[in-house]
């Protein structure tokens, strides 16, 4: 690329080249070594979720990402408080800017792609600060003992006082934890199998589903179990209510409590199982293009174009976008400094919030918020008198508009991100055509030429990409409307199932490359 045509991001290279990074292995990494790295990183992830921020007052803390906690692979009040949020947000911004040609980078060029990746790393650090500073100076409250100890050193007046120093220390802990997540993702991507971000999501969702299904603690752990304080888990709750409630009590509200009342009703457990089965079926649906080797007569194969061609990445990006919308609208409405911003601060039309609550009660933020099962939309529509408080007094038409807006955003946004993802990951027709041609394969009946292969693939890949985005977006939205156990959200369950299936397939490819090294070039291995 000519010097005058290079992107301005090249000016960041002196900075981005010095950022901490994980070096890529020089040669082939053995399959057992890759699996060992995956296990070690997963254990390290769970350790980080249980290392709580030093000096934080957990009793006064408000979790801005509560409804997106499973998807963002984080743990409230820990080093993993921000989870993968900054990484995914940085990826969204870079994809949108490159896709809209605001940033002029050719991702098929090796040098431009390296600049893209290093710039995204720099943007991750920026997003860590953007997400951590407002939370710490608004909702992550330092403990009085921590502030008191620092006040003796720094005093109580001026900018450098005990409280501000305490909050700065918490911000630094969040920055260290979030950047460690980024480095862990790089370790898995370069030395392990699959994506670290995907594995963290699957691990977090699996934990939420397990506790949501089998947790035997009551709604209030400090009180004895009773019909008003049954176990939280879907199965223990069902057994406890059936064995401790009379027939008249079951008819008078017991069945309703078991089947549809949050948390973890049976309909959510059934919905979770249905999503598991449906996603497994969708992941196995594919179009297979026949391939033949140009020189080895009789050698044939197939190139699969899966229905979920763009994988689950578009839903991750869309969920992260909605989480950031929720965070910033809450900050603008409730934060003392930001609520005074003209036109945006403290405006009910943008998003209103009740004191101490993280779920919006009205405004645009409510229309794009995630429904948490039938109790959030269907029951208030059928019986507004009994369940109207669940939707903060909104009428049936407003509830229906909420559902349609949310589903439309998930489907439309997933299609958009699916297109960007295919373009930035060398999964488009031109990149796949070069990949097939370089492996010595061709489509029978067609001339061995990347341009011919590209024209054939253009009949399938763009269409399947749109369908893929629409399917995963629709599945995620549908699962959210039905509800899931453990507050994992429909998006989380969809992601976890897709991730585990793709991880299983990745293990199969790695084993195949281990037995047949000649296939490494075709699968992109070293």
pLDDT digits (tens, 9 = 90+) for 374-391: 878 888 888 787 777 778
Average pLDDT over residues 38-66: 86
Average pLDDT over residues 194-205: 86
Q: What is the DSSP string of 469-485?
A: HHHHHHHHHHHHHH--G
Q: Quick one: what percent of the chain has pLDDT higher than 90?
A: 20
Q: What is the dihedral of CA 105, 107, 113, 115, to 10 degrees?
A: 10
Average pLDDT over residues 241-265: 84
Rounded to 5 degrees, φ, ψ at 293 are: -80, 135
pLDDT digits (tens, 9 = 90+) for 2-50: 445 677 788 888 888 888 888 888 877 888 899 999 999 999 998 998 9
Which among 190, 212, 140 is positioned nearest to 169, based on CA atoms? 140
Burial of 266 (0-12, 13-18, 19+ CB in 10 A): middle
Give the total number of structural domains in the chain.
Answer: 1
pLDDT of res. 39: 92
Q: Which residue has the tokens 């369940």?
A: 387
For residue 62, how many other CB atoms are within 10 A of its CB?
A: 18
Its sign, for the CA torsion 390, 392, 397, 399, is: negative
Burial of 430 (0-12, 13-18, 19+ CB in 10 A): middle
Assigned domain for 153 exists? yes
Least confident of 2-6, 176-180, 223-227, 520-524: 520-524
Task: Say what the pTM is.
Answer: 0.75
Assigned domain for 309 exists? no
Assigned domain for 87 exists? yes
Average pLDDT over residues 85-109: 80
pLDDT class of 519 with cuts at 50, 70, 90: low
Range of the domain at 143: 1-192
Assigned domain for 268 exists? no
Beta strands in 282-385 (DSSP E): 286-293, 300-306, 352-353, 360-362
Helix (H) or strand (E) run with residue 248 in it: helix 247-249
For residues 316 and 71, give the distance between their C-alpha atoms in angstroms, rounded to a whole number: 7
Q: Are strands 352-353 and 360-362 parallel, antiparallel or unpaired?
A: antiparallel
Assigned domain for 341 exists? no
pLDDT: which is higher, 264 or 138: 264
- pLDDT at residue 288 greater than cutoff 90: no
Contact 24, 190 (CB under 8 A): yes
CA distances (Å), 357 to each of 169, 384, 403, in order?
26, 22, 21
**At 111, which CATH number?**
1.10.3370.10
Assigned domain for 525 exists? no
pLDDT: which is higher, 188 or 515: 188
Average pLDDT over residues 152-176: 82
Average pLDDT, the chain: 83
Q: Is 130 left (phi over 0), alpha (psi -120 to 50) or beta?
A: alpha
Average pLDDT over residues 38-65: 87
Assigned domain for 251 exists? no
For residues 214 and 232, give the distance between their C-alpha atoms in angstroms, rounded to a whole number: 8
Strand partners of residue 292:
300, 442
pLDDT of res. 1: 47
Beta strands in 334-489 (DSSP E): 352-353, 360-362, 441-442
Q: Which tokens go with 47?
A: 């350790």
Rounded to 5 degrees, φ, ψ at 9 are: -65, -20
pLDDT digits (tens, 9 = 90+) for 463-500: 999 999 999 899 889 888 888 888 788 778 888 888 88
pLDDT class of 140 with cuts at 50, 70, 90: confident
Q: Quick one: what percent of the chain has pLDDT higher than 70?
A: 93
Least confident of 101-110, 154-163, 420-429: 154-163
Which among 517, 522, 381, 502 is positioned nearest to 28, based on CA atoms? 517
Assigned domain for 107 exists? yes
- pLDDT at residue 214 greater than cutoff 60: yes
Least confident of 64-68, 294-298, 503-507: 294-298
- pLDDT at residue 371 greater than cutoff 80: yes
For residues 267 and 258, give the distance between their C-alpha atoms in angstroms, rounded to a whole number: 9
Its sign, for the CA torsion 357, 362, 365, 371, is: positive
pLDDT class of 297 with cuts at 50, 70, 90: low
pLDDT of res. 402: 94
pLDDT class of 219 with cuts at 50, 70, 90: confident
């Amino acid at each position: 690329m000519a010097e005058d045509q290079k992107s301005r991001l090249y000016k960041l290279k002196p900075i981005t080249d010095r950022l901490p990074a994980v070096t890529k292995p020089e040669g082939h990494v053995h399959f057992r070594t890759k699996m060992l790295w995956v296990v070690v990183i997963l254990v390290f992830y769970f350790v980080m979720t249980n290392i709580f921020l030093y000096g934080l007052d957990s009793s006064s803390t408000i979790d801005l990402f509560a409804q997106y906690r499973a998807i963002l692979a984080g743990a409230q009040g820990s080093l993993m408080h921000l989870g993968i949020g900054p990484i995914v947000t940085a990826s969204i911004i870079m994809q949108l800017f490159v896709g809209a040609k605001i940033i002029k980078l050719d991702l098929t060029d090796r040098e431009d792609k390296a600049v893209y990746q290093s710039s995204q790393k720099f943007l991750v650090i920026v997003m860590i600060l953007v997400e951590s500073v407002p939370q710490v100076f608004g909702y992550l409250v330092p403990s009085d003992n921590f502030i008191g100890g620092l006040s003796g050193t720094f005093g109580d007046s001026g900018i450098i006082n005990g409280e501000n120093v305490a909050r700065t220390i918490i911000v630094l802990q969040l920055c260290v934890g979030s950047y460690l997540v980024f480095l862990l993702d790089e370790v898995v991507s370069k030395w392990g199998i699959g994506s670290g971000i995907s594995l963290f999501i699957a691990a977090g969702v699996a934990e939420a589903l397990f506790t949501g299904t089998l947790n035997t603690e009551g709604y209030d752990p400090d009180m004895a179990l009773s019909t008003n304080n049954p176990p939280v888990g879907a199965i223990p709750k069902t057994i406890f209510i059936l064995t401790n409630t009379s027939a008249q009590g079951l008819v008078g509200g017991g069945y309703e409590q078991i089947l549809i009342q949050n948390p973890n009703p049976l309909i959510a457990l059934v919905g979770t199982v249905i999503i598991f089965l449906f996603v497994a079926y969708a992941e196995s649906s594919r179009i297979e293009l026949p391939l033949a080797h140009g020189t080895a007569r009789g050698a044939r194969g197939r190139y699969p174009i899966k229905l979920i061609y763009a994988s689950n990445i578009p839903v991750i990006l869309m969920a992260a976008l909605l989480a950031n919308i929720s965070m910033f609208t809450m900050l603008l409405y409730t934060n003392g400094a930001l609520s005074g911003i003209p036109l945006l601060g403290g405006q009910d039309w943008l998003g209103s919030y009740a004191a101490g609550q993280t779920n919006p009660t009205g405004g645009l933020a409510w229309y794009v918020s995630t429904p948490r099962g039938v109790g959030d939309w269907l029951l208030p529509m059928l019986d507004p008198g009994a369940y109207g408080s669940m939707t903060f007094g909104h009428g049936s038409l407003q509830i229906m508009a909420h559902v349609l807006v949310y589903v439309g955003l998930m489907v439309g946004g997933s299609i958009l991100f699916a297109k960007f993802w295919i373009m930035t990951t060398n999964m488009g027709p031109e990149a796949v055509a070069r990949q097939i041609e370089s492996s010595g394969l061709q489509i029978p009946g067609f001339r061995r030429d990347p341009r011919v292969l590209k024209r054939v693939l253009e009949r399938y890949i763009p269409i399947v990409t749109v369908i893929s985005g629409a399917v995963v977006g629709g599945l995620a939205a549908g699962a959210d409307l039905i509800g899931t156990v453990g507050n994992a959200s429909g998006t989380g369950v969809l992601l976890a199932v897709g991730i585990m299936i793709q991880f299983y397939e990745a293990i199969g490819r790695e084993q195949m490359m281990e037995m047949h090294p000649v296939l490494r070039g075709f699968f992109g291995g070293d």
